[in-house]
Amino acid sequence: MSAAPLLSVRDLRVGFATEGGLLQAVDGVGFDLKPGEVLAIVGESGSGKSVTAQTLIGLTRSKNSRIDGSVKLDGEELLEADDATMRRLRGERIAMVFQDPMTSFNPVYRIGSQIVEAIRAHKGDADKAQARRQVVELFDSVGIPDAERRVDDYPHEFSGGMRQRAMIAMALALEPEVLIADEPTTALDVTIQAQILRLLEDLNRQHGLATILITHDLGVVAEVADRVLVMYAGRIVEEGTLDEIFYDPQHPYTWGLMGSLTRLDRPRPHRLPQIAGSPPSLLDLPEGCPFRPRCPHEFSKCPQDPGLEARLSEVPDHRDRCWLTPEQKREKRQVEGQIGLEAPQEAPRV
Amino acid sequence: MLRFVVRRLVGMVFVLFVVSILVFLIFNVIPNSPPAQRLAGKNATPVLVKSIEEEWGFDESLPVQYVTMMKNVFTGELTSYSPRIPVNDQIQEGIPATFSLSIGAGIIWLSFGLLLGYLAATRAGGWLDRALTGVAIAGISIPVFLLAPVLIYFLTYKLEIFPNGGYVKLTEDPWEWFTHLILPWFTLAVLSIGFYSRVLRSNMLDVMNEDYVRTARAKGLSEGRVMTRHVLRNSLIPIVTLFGLDFGATIAGTAIITEVLYGITGVGYYAAHAIANFELPPIMGVTLYGAFFVVFINTLVDIGYAYLDPRVRLGASAQ
Amino acid sequence: MSDGAANTGAPLLEVTDLVKHFPIKSGVLIDREVDQVRAVDGVSFKVEKGKTLGLVGESGSGKSTACRAVLQLIKPTSGSVKFEGQEIAGLGRRRMRPLRREMQMIFQDPYASLNPRKRIGQIVGDPLRRQGVAKGADLRRRVQELLERVGLAGEHYNRFPHEFSGGQRQRIGIARALALKPKLVICDEPVSALDVSIQAQIVNLLDDLQDELGLAYLFVAHDIGVVRHISDRIAVMNEGKIVEQGTADQVCENPKDDYTKKLLAAVPIPDPKESRERREHAGSAG
Residue A64 lies in a domain: no
Domain that holds residue C223: 9-25+35-102+189-266
Query: Is B1 touching C (CB cutoff 8 A)?
Result: no
Residue B144 lies in a domain: yes
Residue C213 has pLDDT above 60, yes or no: yes
Query: Is C268 touching A (CB cutoff 8 A)?
Result: yes
Tell me the chain A residues in contact with residue B309 when contact means C-beta distances shorter than 8 Å. Answer: 107-108
Residue C131: the pLDDT is 82
Q: For residue A171, what are the β-bridge partners?
A: none
Q: Which residue has the higher pLDDT, B171 or A14?
A: A14
Residue B297 lies in a domain: yes
Residue B82 lies in a domain: no
Do B54 and B175 have their domain in common? no
Q: Report the pLDDT averaged over residues A293-304.
A: 88
Residue C170 lies in a domain: yes
Q: How far is CA C200 from CA B201, C175, C209, C262, in A?
A: 43, 17, 14, 25
What are the residues of chain C with a beta carbon less than 8 Å away from any beta carbon of chain B? 24-29, 34-35, 37
* Mean model confidence pLDDT for chain A: 88
Q: Which residue has the higher pLDDT, B87 or A85?
A: A85
The CATH number assigned to the domain holding C17 equals 3.40.50.300
Do C94 and C227 have their domain in common? yes
Question: Using one digit for the tens of pLDDT, what is the confidence trace for A246-281?
Answer: 988 999 999 888 888 888 888 888 888 888 888 888
Question: Using one digit for the tens of pLDDT, what is the confidence trace for C143-179?
Answer: 999 999 898 888 888 999 988 888 889 999 999 999 9
Residue C123 lies in a domain: yes
Residue C1: the pLDDT is 42
Residue A116 lies in a domain: yes
Residue C200 lies in a domain: yes
Question: Using one digit for the tens of pLDDT, what is the confidence trace for A206-254?
Answer: 888 999 999 988 989 999 999 999 999 999 999 999 999 998 899 999 9
Do C97 and C15 have their domain in common? yes
CB distance A147 to A113 below 8 Å: no
* Mean model confidence pLDDT for chain C: 87
Tell me the chain A residues in contact with residue B310 when contact means C-beta distances shorter than 8 Å. Answer: 107-108, 154, 156
- Centre a 10 Å sphere on the Cβ of residue C158 and count the other Cβ atoms it contains: 10
Q: Which of C130, C165, C181 is the last residue of a domain?
A: C181
Question: Using one digit for the tens of pLDDT, what is the confidence trace for B83-112?
Answer: 778 888 888 888 888 888 999 999 999 999
From the list B224, B227, B243, the residue with the least C-alpha distance to A106 is B227
Q: How far is CA C104 from CA A182, A291, C17, C101, in A?
A: 36, 36, 22, 7
Measured distance CA(C123)–CA(C173) in Å, rounded? 9
Residue C216 lies in a domain: yes
Query: Is C222 in Cβ contact with A219 (below 8 Å)?
Result: no
Measured distance CA(B315)–CA(C170) in Å, rounded? 41
Residue A314 has pLDDT above 50, yes or no: yes
Measured distance CA(B215)–CA(A195) in Å, rounded? 22
Residue C283: the pLDDT is 62
Measured distance CA(B191)–CA(A10) in Å, rounded? 55
Task: Please give the full DSSP string across B220-259, using - where no structure is assigned.
Answer: T--HHHIIIIIIIHHHHHHHHHHHHHHHHHIIIIITHHHH
Average the pLDDT over each of A67-76, A129-138, A181-190, B163-172 and give the range with the smallest value. Answer: B163-172
Do B137 and B71 have their domain in common? no
Task: Tell me the range of A31-35, A345-349, B6-10 where mean pLDDT is highest.
Answer: A31-35
Query: Is B159 touching C (CB cutoff 8 A)?
Result: no
ipTM above 0.85, yes or no: no
Residue A299 lies in a domain: yes
Do C20 and C148 have their domain in common? no
Q: What's the structural domain count of chain C?
A: 2
Query: Is C27 in Cβ contact with B3 (below 8 Å)?
Result: yes
Do B66 and B176 have their domain in common? no
Kind and range of the H or E run holding A15: strand A7-18
Residue B174 lies in a domain: yes
Residue B318: the pLDDT is 34
Question: Using one digit for the tens of pLDDT, what is the confidence trace for C84-98?
Answer: 999 998 888 888 888
Do B124 and B214 have their domain in common? yes
Task: Please give the full DSSP string across C145-174, using - where no structure is assigned.
Answer: HHHHHTTS-GGGGG--GGGS-HHHHHHHHH
Residue A2: the pLDDT is 53
Residue A187 lies in a domain: no
Question: Using one digit for the tens of pLDDT, what is the confidence trace for B57-83?
Answer: 777 777 888 888 788 777 777 777 767
Residue B69 lies in a domain: yes
Residue C27: the pLDDT is 66
Do C194 and C96 have their domain in common? yes
Residue B275: the pLDDT is 85
Do B200 and B229 have their domain in common? yes
Domain that holds residue A164: 101-175
Residue C144 lies in a domain: yes
Tell me the chain A residues in contact with residue B221 when contact means C-beta distances shorter than 8 Å. Answer: 87, 117-118, 121
Q: For residue A228, what are the β-bridge partners?
A: A40, A240
Nearest C-alpha in C relative to A348: C151
Q: What's the structural domain count of chain B?
A: 2
The CATH number assigned to the domain holding B161 equals 1.10.3720.10
Give residue B292's identity as a one-letter amino acid code.
F
Residue C115 has pLDDT above 80, yes or no: yes
Q: Report the pLDDT averaged over residues C231-251.
A: 94
* Mean model confidence pLDDT for chain B: 84
CA atoms in the 13 A half-sphere facing the CB of B109: 31
Residue A67 lies in a domain: no
Do C85 and C148 have their domain in common? no
Average the pLDDT over each of A97-111, A145-159, A334-348, B288-302 and give the range with the smallest value. Answer: A334-348
Do C124 and C227 have their domain in common? no
Residue C43 has pLDDT above 90, yes or no: yes
Residue A9: the pLDDT is 95
Do B211 and B286 have their domain in common? yes
Query: Is A219 in Cβ contact with C268 (below 8 Å)?
Result: yes
Residue C243 lies in a domain: yes
Q: Report the pLDDT averaged over residues B112-141.
A: 87
Measured distance CA(B258)–CA(B263) in Å, rounded? 8
Residue B149: the pLDDT is 87
Please report the beta strands in C189-281, taking only residues with DSSP state E, as ranges in sequence order: 216-221, 233-238, 241-247
Residue B316: the pLDDT is 45
Percent share of chain C, pLDDT over 70:
94
Do B140 and B232 have their domain in common? yes
- Centre a 10 Å sphere on the Cβ of residue C68 and count the other Cβ atoms it contains: 18
Q: What's the structural domain count of chain A?
A: 2
Do B50 and B109 have their domain in common? no
What are the residues of chain A with a beta carbon less than 8 Å away from any beta carbon of chain B? 57, 59, 83, 87-92, 95-96, 98, 100, 103-109, 117-118, 121-122, 154, 156, 167, 170-171
Nearest C-alpha in A relative to C163: A281
Nearest C-alpha in A relative to C271: A222
Helix orientation angle between A128-141 and A160-172, rounded to the nearest 10 degrees: 120
Q: What is the dihedral of CA C20, C24, C25, C26, to 10 degrees?
A: -160
Question: Using one digit for the tens of pLDDT, what is the confidence trace for B236-268?
Answer: 988 988 898 888 888 887 788 888 888 888 888
Helix orientation angle between B62-75 and B280-308, rounded to the nearest 10 degrees: 60
Domain that holds residue B266: 95-308
Query: Is C29 in Cβ contact with B7 (below 8 Å)?
Result: yes
Measured distance CA(B292)–CA(B253) in Å, rounded? 12
Residue C3: the pLDDT is 45
Which are the contacts of A345, defined by CB distance < 8 A and separation ≥ 6? Answer: none
Do B10 and B159 have their domain in common? no
Measured distance CA(A166)–CA(A158) in Å, rounded? 9
